[in-house]
């Protein structure tokens, strides 16, 4: 596994539990608002000089934290672009940790395999936009079937999970929220995340942070879709 960075202690990636966050290198998307361009863009990745030695250091670190950490959160980039993700998760779980996976959902086959083999305990999947408008955010035009399949796999699984959308002023509309609500109908939980400006993959990205009041309006708007809990995350 190519590891780009490690956050040794987090109390927010899995609320009420102590976790570390490991970032994998590379992504299949080019989301204009992405705050981790160093882990996504090939020309920036080349400057990081990441080696397999980082994986050894990561597991050496975990062995010294078995008394403290409960969870390991794997994010990126996009972890499921790596063929050895299953082996990586297995090694983490063999040390007694639970695994949370953050994914954009592009690889439903791997997602299904990880769930069936009980290699992940929690999955968080990003829903970037409505299916019709996905390319306007991701910078990539592709068949949305894979993402739709991942939603179905997660919803029908027995593990803990969440869906989430980073809501951006000037990008998402109330009509978009309704369309996403229809896709997620019956899901256990859905997070509406407030976009915050900062270092972005596209330096000319013009989206802005929506008001909290707007997020709460969109939260109320989702009530017809029978989603277990709709959270606002700021």
The string of pLDDT tens digits covering residues 120-164 is 999 999 999 999 999 999 999 899 999 999 999 999 999 999 999
Q: Is residue 109 part of a domain?
A: yes
> Which structural domain range is residue 145 located in?
3-167
Residue 85's pLDDT band, with cuts at 50, 70 and 90, is very high
- Split at pLDDT 50, 70, 90, the class of 51 is confident
Number of domains in the chain: 1
Angle between the N-to-C axes of helices 108-116 and 85-94, in degrees from 0 to 180, rounded to the nearest 10:
30
**Exposed, middle or buried, 86 (CB in 10 Å: 0-12/13-18/19+)?**
middle
List residues bridging with 230 in a β-sheet: 190
Residue 52 is predicted with a pLDDT of 73
Quick check: is 173 in a domain?
no
Strand partners, 124: 102, 162
State the CATH number of the domain containing residue 117. Answer: 3.20.20.70
Residue 45 has pLDDT above 90, yes or no: no
pLDDT of residue 57: 93
Reduce the DSSP state of residue 204 to 3 states and report it.
coil
DSSP structural state of residue 28: S
Q: What is the mean pLDDT of residues 27-56?
A: 87
Confirm whether 228 is domain-assigned.
no
User: H helices of 157-229, where?
Assistant: 174-183, 212-221
Please indicate, yes or no, if residue 148 is contained in any of the structural domains: yes
| Residue 57 in domain | yes
pLDDT of residue 10 exceeding 90, the answer is no
Q: Rounded to 5 degrees, what angle do the CA atoms 202, 205, 211 make?
A: 135
* pLDDT band, very low/low/confident/very high, at 24 (cuts 50, 70, 90): very high
Can you tell me the distance from the alpha carbon of 137 to that of 49, in angstroms, rounded to the nearest whole number?
A: 29
pLDDT at site 42 = 85
pLDDT band at 81 (very low <50, low <70, confident <90, very high): very high
In the sheet with 160-167, reading across from the earlier edge strand, the strands are 3-10, 19-24, 71-75, 98-103, 122-126, 160-167, 189-194, 229-233
Percent of the chain with pLDDT over 90: 81
Mean pLDDT, range 205-233, rounded to an integer: 96
Q: Output the pLDDT for position 46.
A: 80
Q: How many CA atoms lie within 13 A of 141 on its CB side?
A: 0
Q: Which of 49, 40, 95 is nearest to 71 (CA)?
A: 95
């Amino acid at each position: 596994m190519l590891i780009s960075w490690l956050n040794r202690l987090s109390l927010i990636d899995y609320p009420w539990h102590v976790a570390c966050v490991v970032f994998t290198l590379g992504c299949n998307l080019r989301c204009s608002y992405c705050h981790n361009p160093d882990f996504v863009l090939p020309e920036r990745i080349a400057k990081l000089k990441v080696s397999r030695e980082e994986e050894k250091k990561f597991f050496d670190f975990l062995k010294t934290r078995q008394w403290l950490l409960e969870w390991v959160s794997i994010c990126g980039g996009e972890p499921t672009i790596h063929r050895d993700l299953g082996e990586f998760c297995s090694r983490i779980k063999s040390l007694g940790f639970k695994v949370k996976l953050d994914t954009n959902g592009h690889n439903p086959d791997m997602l299904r395999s990880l769930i069936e083999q009980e290699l992940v305990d929690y999955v968080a999947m990003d829903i970037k936009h409505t299916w019709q408008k996905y390319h306007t955010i991701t910078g990539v035009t592709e068949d949305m079937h894979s993402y739709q399949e991942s939603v179905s796999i997660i919803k029908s699984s027995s593990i803990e999970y969440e869906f989430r959308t980073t809501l951006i002023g000037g990008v998402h509309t109330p009509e978009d929220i309704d369309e996403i609500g229809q896709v997620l109908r019956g899901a256990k939980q859905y997070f509406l995340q407030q976009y915050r400006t900062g270092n972005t993959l596209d330096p000319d990205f013009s989206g802005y942070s929506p008001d909290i009041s707007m997020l709460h309006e969109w939260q109320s708007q989702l009530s017809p879709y029978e989603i277990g809990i709709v959270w606002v995350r700021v």
